[in-house]
Amino acid sequence: MHLTQIERGILAGETGTVGGRMAMEIVVAAGRMLGAGALVPVVSSHIDGCLYHGDSGVLFCERLADEGARVQVPSSTNVGALNLLKPDQCRLPPDQRKMAFRLMQAHDRMGCSPSWTCAPYQAGARPSAGEQIAWGESNAVAFANTVLGARTNRYGDFLDIACAITGRAPLYGLHTDAARRGEIVIDVSALSPALRDEDSFYPVLGALIGTLSRESVPVLTGITPEQASEDRLKALCAGAASTGSTALIHIIGVTPEAPTLEAALGGEPARERVDVTAAMIREARDSLSRTQGDTVDCIALGSPHFSARECRTLLRLLNGRASRVPIYLCTGRHVMETLAIDGTDTALAALGVEFVVDTCVVVTPILPPGGGAMMTNSAKFAHYAKGNTGHDPVFGSLTDCVESAVAGRLVRDFALWG
């Protein structure tokens, strides 16, 4: 691996801190294992490793901080295991709660921005097209590559913080032109225009894309820029990143480097083409539910974190009606500040909405114990719910979730799905 003089100096401990040398050792070792010929400077990082999974991760990050490690680029933090604004909301045992807090503190000490959100692009972290970054959190990675046109691989715990400390990432994969070329074309133009203009279509389409593309870079056709709102793109990227290893989707006319199909494919023929049928999209939708009957024990929204617009849409759909089952709404503290301006937060809480801030119900124990049926409009929640919470997911649109919450039983309208 070719290293610059500055990188060699940090690695040898000739410059910088002991923590900085530790981080450089990790980045270089990872790069060698991945076959990278060099490191690439990055302009930002999003840190996924601040979620508590055990004491070893806490001790590792505290050691970095104690040895003087500080991030060299703007670095936002993903969700932690605690709602710092309401610590008792999480049912972790006291010793684990303490360690989870220490892990979040360690990232704060290293200079990370305490955003605690899985949607950093909603909190101001928006690198420009072509910029090299080192992000963790699968939906954020997919969004950064697909929507913003920045360049990052899926960086996991705790390589993400090491990249932030060094300001470097291994030069391989989606940091390079060759790896970003589209390979499989997925066309949805045969589906009805009404369905393609339905919000709940996008998480389902994302889940299907992740399954179809496997490790290939998919190219999506049949979606217009007018249909591609940011919240829909967020849901699409999260679905694809959950069911597959998807980190980049070339959406023609939306992704900055994919103005045309030819550009997305790099001038080469597609390796495969899939024409999505109504039956395929219905099957993908149904795969997101794992329970029968009309029982709904709770509603979970916000994976990725709900935007302010989605929160206000929820309030409009409730229309003054209180929920008969708990509605857990996961969002970031930056959104809560926005909602407080016009009282949307207070109005939602009065109707039975419980805000989950800094974390989410699928990564830490917040939902009532004992399982049950959890309704959601999120493909990501649906994918991870059973294994992480014990609850059986039921997928529906946001309107379906609201009507089910008010009725206290499952209500779904699939008329648009054919």
- Helix-then-strand count for the chain, H and E: 16, 14
Instruction: Look at residues 382, 373, 150 and name the one whose alpha carbon lies nearest to residue 255.
Output: 150
Q: What is the pLDDT of residue 292?
A: 86
Amino acid type, 48: D
The DSSP code sequence of 201-238 is HHHHHHHHHHHHHTTS-EEEES--TTT--HHHHHHHHH
Question: Is 323 among the domain residues?
Answer: yes
At 59, which CATH number?
3.30.499
Question: Is 90 among the domain residues?
Answer: yes
Provide the token pair at 418: 């054919």
- pLDDT tens-place values along the chain, 418 residues long: 999 999 999 999 999 999 999 999 999 999 999 999 999 999 999 999 999 999 999 999 999 999 999 999 999 999 999 999 998 999 999 999 999 999 999 999 999 999 999 999 999 999 999 999 999 999 999 999 999 999 999 999 999 999 999 999 999 999 999 999 999 999 999 999 999 999 999 999 999 999 999 889 999 999 999 999 999 999 999 999 999 999 999 999 999 999 999 999 999 999 999 999 999 999 999 999 999 899 999 999 999 999 999 999 999 999 999 999 999 999 999 999 999 999 999 999 999 999 999 999 999 999 999 999 999 999 999 999 999 999 999 999 999 999 999 999 999 999 999 8
Let me know whether 43 and 155 are in one domain.
yes
Let me know whether 278 and 341 are in one domain.
no
Cα R_g (the chain), whole angstroms: 21
Amino acid type, 393: P
Instruction: Look at residues 173, 179, 223 and name the one whose alpha carbon lies nearest to residue 40.
Output: 173
Cross-sheet strand order for the sheet of 372-376: 353-357, 327-331, 298-306, 372-376, 391-395
Question: Is 292 among the domain residues?
Answer: no
Segment (H or E) for 5: helix 5-11
Let me know whether 38 and 150 are in one domain.
yes
Q: What is the pLDDT of residue 21?
A: 98
pTM above 0.95, yes or no: yes
Question: Is 418 among the domain residues?
Answer: no
Question: Is 277 among the domain residues?
Answer: yes
For residues 214 and 295, is the Cβ–Cβ distance under 8 A?
A: no
Amino acid type, 282: R
Alpha carbon separation from 107 to 111, 166, 277 (Å, rounded): 7, 15, 46
Let me know whether 44 and 60 are in one domain.
yes
At 357, which CATH number?
3.30.499.10
The DSSP code sequence of 288-332 is T----SS---EEEEEEEEEPHHHHHHHHHHHTTPPPSS-EEEEE-
Distance CA 343, CA 334 (A): 15
Q: Is the dihedral of CA 153, 131, 306, 202 positive or negative?
A: negative
The DSSP code sequence of 322-340 is PPSS-EEEEE-HHHHHHHH
Let me know whether 164 and 185 are in one domain.
no
Let me know whether 24 and 121 are in one domain.
yes
Let me know whether 345 and 261 are in one domain.
no
Let me know whether 269 and 321 are in one domain.
no
Question: Is 195 among the domain residues?
Answer: yes
CB half-sphere exposure, 84, CA atoms < 13 A: 16
Let me know whether 138 and 240 are in one domain.
no
Q: What is the pLDDT of residue 80?
A: 98
Question: Is 259 among the domain residues?
Answer: yes
CA dihedral 364, 143, 47, 383 (to 10 degrees): 20
Let me know whether 173 and 195 are in one domain.
no
Instruction: Look at residues 205, 243, 78, 208 and name the one whose alpha carbon lies nearest to residue 144.
Output: 78
Distance CA 412, CA 35 (A): 49
Amino acid type, 275: D
Segment (H or E) for 236: helix 230-243
Report the domain count for the chain. 3
Let me know whether 132 and 256 are in one domain.
no
Question: Is 157 among the domain residues?
Answer: yes
Let me know whether 174 and 185 are in one domain.
no
CA dihedral 23, 26, 27, 31 (to 10 degrees): 170
Q: What residue numbers bound the domain in which 338 lies?
A: 298-411
